[in-house]
Structures are given as C-alpha cells and as structure tokens.
Structure 1
Amino acid sequence: MPDFSAPDGTRLAHHLRGSGEPLVVLPGGPMRASGYLGDLGGLDAHRQLVLLDLRGTGQSAVPADPATYRCDRLVDDVEALRLHLGLERMDLLAHSAGGSLAMLYAARYPERLSRLALITATPWALGLPATAEQRRAAARLRASEPWFPQAFPAFEAWLSGSGDFDPVFLPFFYGRWDDTARAHADREEDETNDDAADVYGADGAYDPAATRAALTRVAAPVLVLAGEADGGPSPALARRTAEAFPKAELAVQPGAGHYPWLDDAEWFTRRVTAFFSGQGQGQGQGSDD
C-alpha cells in the first residue's frame, strides 16, 4: 500500500489496481474510503487505477487539524498525489461527492489535467445541489419494483425533512437492487468517516461563481456520466455540470443508478475507456442520451 505526505505532513494512502497508464481516482461519500470503488467494473483491465484514500479514511492518517477535511482544502492533497506520481499532467476520474473535489482541482490546476471523467458527480462546487423533486422524480421511475411501496414513503419523509435517513430506501441509489448492491450498501457505514463528511461541505468550501469562471479555462476534455435512474444528480443536472466546461460531453448510462459500474460493468467500462483513449465525442457539449 503506497503512501505519501500531504503538504501539512498527513500521511495519505493510495491503492494501485491493474497496469498501464495511471488513472487517478477520487472517491465520493463524501469521505468514504476508496475500497467501495472496487475495480470500477473492470476498468483496471485497461488502466492502472490509482485510488486515493482521502485523509481520515481507509488507510490514510487522521489529520491534526479536522478543518482540513473541507473540500477546498483537499485540493492540496490531490496535487500532492500528482507530484508523488511524477505526472506532468494526469487523467482524473471522480465519483459522486468526489466530483466537487475534482472540479475545484480543475479550477485551480487546469494545466495539470489531461482528461477528466465525472461519474454521477455531485455538483456542489457549482452551486447545484440535487433537489428533492429531482430525487422524487427518479424514485418514481422504480414504482414497479417490489420494494417500492415500503421504500418510497420513507424516502419522501427524508426528502421533506420529517424523517431520518433510512436504509429501507437504499435501493433508490442502485439501478439493480440485487445481492451485489446489498453487499455494497452494507459496507458504507464502516467505510465512511462521518465526522469528516460533516466538514467536507462546511462554510467556505465552495465559491460557485469563482469556480465557474475558472473552469472556462479548462482545456482538457471532460466526460460527465449520469445514471438514467439516478436522482442525485439526475441526467438533467449532469447536463448543467457539463455546460460549465468548454469541452465536455454528457453520457447517460441506461438503467443505471448512482454506482453505474455495478449496474452494467460492460457499458460503463466501454464508455469510460473510449473517453480516456480519445474515442469519445470530443465535440463540445456532446451527449449520448
């Protein structure tokens, strides 16, 4: 398990999977250990995945200053990883909440990116949280599922603020609620640093106007991949993320939820590999949807 030192001295771990050209991967959660990403549906057969455990998660050390869990503060850790790997420019993939970290990195270090893939990325950094109605609309697409009658009222209560997060509605985050999805969901609590997650989006973490302005200078091609059945972000919200970049393409994976590599590994791997090999659309605001 390789490790390196962040600028403040915190020891950070990263995990290598596969071989070939390195692809740096930022996990979501927020603040979930990178293990939940697995091999990203077999993407490690095409690239060497460099999976970063953000500070205080997985095998990375807990920092002396908890304020450094804030998303904008974590940009320094991503840049330290690039330097540790000896890369002049890097391909970067980020999932979910990690997408906001990747956007802040792109805004600060646009010249250090070769290509960027944002996978079901939460665009908090752009001032675009998923709305309750977007999540409800996606949830209603699952009305024929056997678990829906029990899950939807609890989901509604959570969205309205009248109920707590309830594992009964976890199926809404997966395109297929099968044994693989259940096992994946069961790991989340043990893999997430809740205290760090509370700090990730704290006051001052995001400056959407400044980030939007900076992203107009990103010359690297960007893939924004959404799940057709995901409510956070919905495909429509993912399109708005793509619009923040000069050279972005939108792909909507059929039937996928928030973890698309679990729902259809072949589709996911084929689309992401094509993008990083330069075979994506690459014509501005392209779309597969």
Structure 2
Amino acid sequence: MPRFPSYDATELTYHVHGAGPPLVCLPGGPGRASSYLDKLGGLSAYRTLIMLDHRGTGESEVPADPASYRCDRLVDDVEALRQHLGLDRMSLLGHSAGGDLAQLYAARFPDRLERLLLITPALRATGTEPVGQDDALAARAGEWWYRGARAARATWQEAVAGGASLADTAALRLAAAPFSYGRWDERARAHREADAWERADAATEGFYAGFEPDTAAVRAALATLDVPVLVLAGELDPMPAPPAARALTDLFPYGELVVQDRAGHYPWVDDGPTFARLVLTHLTAVAPHTA
C-alpha cells in the first residue's frame, strides 16, 4: 500500500480504490481503519477513492507522541497527504468523527478545498447541539431489538461519563449498535463486528482527549468557506439526527443537506446505490456560486 511521511516523520498509509477524479476520504470511529468504508457503496466506480488510515490505525505507523492522535493535530496529516498527492485543491470527504477532522481542515486550509463532503458527521468541532437525538431513538421503538439496545446505550453513556475505558464498554457498544443502521440485518451485523479488529484503542481514546476547540473561531472560518459543502444525514441516525445535520449545514454559505431515506450512521451499508447516487449528484453539480 502507498505510504508517505507526515509532518513528524510518522509513516502513514492510504488505500486507493476505483477510477476518476480523486476524492480523499477520512474515516471516523474514531480510531477505526479506513477498511470499514469499503468502496462507499460503489462510489469507486465514478471516483478514485483515496482512503487514509489515520496514524496508529490500519496499516499506518504508531506515532512516537500519543498526543498527536488528537483531532486537531491530525489536520497536519491531512495536509501532508494533500501535498504528497500533488493536489493543488482536493475534494475531501469525512465520515462521523472524520467529519470533525474535515471541518477543522476546512477552517485552517480553505484554499486547498474544491468540495467538502460531511457524511453523518460529528458535531464537536463546531459545538453544534445534537438536537433531534431523542426523537430519532424513539422512532425505532417498534424494532424487536429496541428495548435492549436503548438500555445498553444509556448504560454505555453513563459508563463513559464515569471514565470507563473503551474495553470496558465494548459489550455495551455492540448491544447499542442497531441504532447505527437502517436495518439490523446480517450485513449490518458483519459491518459492526469488524469493528473489533479495525479499531485501535489508543487512536480512539486519543482522538478527543483534551480536545477543546474554539468553536466560535471554527464557525467563523466555515462561514467564509467558498466551496460547495454536502452534509449527508441518515433519516434514522440519532447522531447526528437530521435536525442537527440541518443546523450544521446552515453554518456554510454553500451548504446542501441531503437526508438518505431509511439510512443510519453508515448509509452506504444500508443502501449503497442510493448513497453513491446522492454523493455523485453533489460532486457533479455546478458550484452554486459559479453558476
């Protein structure tokens, strides 16, 4: 797999899938190898997907400084990748926690972006309130797994607030996983079970450790971002629920919110062709400020 040295000489790996114009992809988790993104529902048939394994995850090297796992410091890895690829400007996709990283990159390097795609993104970088979460959870009350998953989710959140480790909460996270998918079927279960070997605990725990963003500054920077921005939310995803995704979208001058029907936090797993179509429609649309 191709590798490159980042700003501190940590060797990072990325994976290349497909053909067409490049789309740089930042995985979430946080701390999960990019393999969980797969081919993004067939999007690789239309774009060259360049999927970064964040430091200490997948096939990338473990950094000498554990503090460099932190979300805002990973921005320099993304910039090092852009330079390595020789791209003057790039289209950048961030999923989940990778969405926070993508937003921080956009705030620091707006002139290096062609488009920004935030797929079921995290909200910490901008301090966006997670509105709609309770309604999204309650909407699944008719599912056979609801009662057990809802209890596990509440216990998991309490444990995290009490300082429980990632290992301590593994069983609870798995029990609450159905909320992350539009259908809790065999495909969804296999995708979730892969988390056990795709996740690096140190990278997960370090991603938000000590992360205290200046959300007002981030918001101010994103308010001047002169590129098209797609925020894609899953209709059934509690985090972010569509109302929170709308609030995030409204921060961008050229933001577009798309809600994928019957999808959760991993919309390409729920319905790959629909996900690929929605993303491709955005990528091929004329930028609104140049039309």
Aligned-partner residue type, residue 138 of structure 1: A
Q: Shift of residue 244 of structure 1?
A: 1.4
Segments of 5+ residues of structure 1 without an aligned counterpart are 284-289
Matches within 5 A, 1:28-47: 28-47=28-47
Who is 2:17 aligned against?
17
Who is 1:155 aligned against?
153
Q: Deviations over 1:183-225 (max 9, x none)?
A: 0000112111122222211224522111111112210100000
CA–CA distance in structure 1, aligned partners of residues 124 and 39 of structure 2: 26
Q: Please tell me whether the aligned partners of residues 16 and 51 of structure 1 are also in contact (alpha carbons under 8 angstroms).
A: yes
Aligned-partner residue type, residue 54 of structure 1: H
Matches within 5 A, 1:248-287: 248-278=255-285, 282=288
CA–CA distance in structure 1, aligned partners of residues 211 and 183 of structure 2: 37
Who is 1:135 aligned against?
133
Aligned-partner residue type, residue 156 of structure 1: A
Q: Does 1:167 align with 2:174?
A: yes
Q: Shift of residue 130 of structure 1?
A: 3.3
Matches within 5 A, 1:26-175: 26-128=26-128, 130=130, 134-161=132-159, 164=169, 165-175=172-182
Who is 1:198 aligned against?
205
CA–CA distance in structure 1, aligned partners of residues 18 and 250 of structure 2: 32
Q: Shift of residue 136 of structure 1?
A: 3.2
Task: State the identity as a percent.
Answer: 52
Q: Which of 216, 225, 238 pairs up with 1:218?
A: 225
Q: Please tell me whether the aligned partners of residues 122 and 129 of structure 1 are also in contact (alpha carbons under 8 angstroms).
A: no
CA–CA distance in structure 2, aligned partners of residues 142 and 253 of structure 1: 16
Q: Shift of residue 158 of structure 1?
A: 3.0
Q: Shift of residue 152 of structure 1?
A: 2.1
SS of the aligned residue for 1:14 comes to: strand
| TM-score normalised by L of structure 1 | 0.92
What is the number of residues matched between the two proteins?
280
- Greater mean alpha carbon deviation, residues 145-154 or residues 11-20: 145-154
Q: Shift of residue 150 of structure 1?
A: 2.4
Who is 1:246 aligned against?
253
Q: Please tell me whether the aligned partners of residues 127 and 208 of structure 1 are also in contact (alpha carbons under 8 angstroms).
A: yes
Q: Deviations over 1:25-73 (max 9, x none)?
A: 0000011100000000000000000000000000000011010001111
SS of the aligned residue for 2:125 comes to: helix
SS of the aligned residue for 2:236 comes to: coil
C-alpha change, 1:192 and 1:100, in structure 2 (3 Å) is: same
SS of the aligned residue for 2:7 comes to: coil
Q: Please tell me whether the aligned partners of residues 71 and 211 of structure 2 are also in contact (alpha carbons under 8 angstroms).
A: no
CA–CA distance in structure 2, aligned partners of residues 179 and 129 of structure 1: 33
CA–CA distance in structure 1, aligned partners of residues 152 and 211 of structure 2: 32
CA–CA distance in structure 1, aligned partners of residues 110 and 64 of structure 2: 29
Who is 1:286 aligned against?
none
Q: Please tell me whether the aligned partners of residues 12 and 59 of structure 2 are also in contact (alpha carbons under 8 angstroms).
A: yes
Q: Shift of residue 129 of structure 1?
A: 5.6
CA–CA distance in structure 1, aligned partners of residues 277 and 45 of structure 2: 11
Q: Deviations over 1:59-97 (max 9, x none)?
A: 000011010001111001000111111111001111000
Aligned-partner residue type, residue 158 of structure 1: W
Aligned-partner residue type, residue 225 of structure 1: L
CA–CA distance in structure 1, aligned partners of residues 33 and 236 of structure 2: 24
Q: Please tell me whether the aligned partners of residues 26 and 98 of structure 2 are also in contact (alpha carbons under 8 angstroms).
A: yes
Segments of 5+ residues of structure 2 without an aligned counterpart are none
Q: Please tell me whether the aligned partners of residues 242 and 249 of structure 1 are also in contact (alpha carbons under 8 angstroms).
A: yes
Q: Deviations over 1:229-254 (max 9, x none)?
A: 00000101111111111110101111
CA–CA distance in structure 2, aligned partners of residues 130 and 190 of structure 1: 29
